[in-house]
Amino acid sequence: MMSGKVRVNILSQAEEDIEEIIDFIFEDRPSAADSIFEKFQVAFSLLAKNPSAGRKARDKRLGLLGYRYLVVGNYLIFYRIKSNAVYVYRVLHGARNYTEIL
């Protein structure tokens, strides 16, 4: 178990995912876009303090690769813990087939 804060690295694909999510929501509901963005920021802060906060991926292949996920509204933040840091790989809507995407 890690103590203290760890660095959260949001990889470029995850940044793109977040931008697409925010842009999509913003078209119809700007305040909802702000809200989900804030929720993502809170989730990243949580991961910095407690990298094990997310669940282990249920898919066997993803589990073996060390993927974990954190649920934020309708979205799943997929990440791995490596060398005392968190790497965020994707932020996907829960209805998407994430096992194929990852």
The whole-model pTM stands at 0.92
Domain boundaries, given as residue ranges, for the chain: 7-101
| The pLDDT of residue 2 | 47
Question: What DSSP letter does each residue of 3-56 carry, written as one string?
Answer: -S--EEEE-HHHHHHHHHHHHHHHHH-HHHHHHHHHHHHHHHHHHHH-GGGSEE
Q: pLDDT by residue for the chain (102 residues), tens digit each?
A: 445 689 999 999 999 999 999 999 999 999 999 999 999 999 999 999 999 999 999 899 999 999 999 999 999 999 999 988 999 999 999 998 888 888
In the CATH hierarchy, which fold is given to the domain comprising 7-101?
YaeB-like fold (3.30.2310)
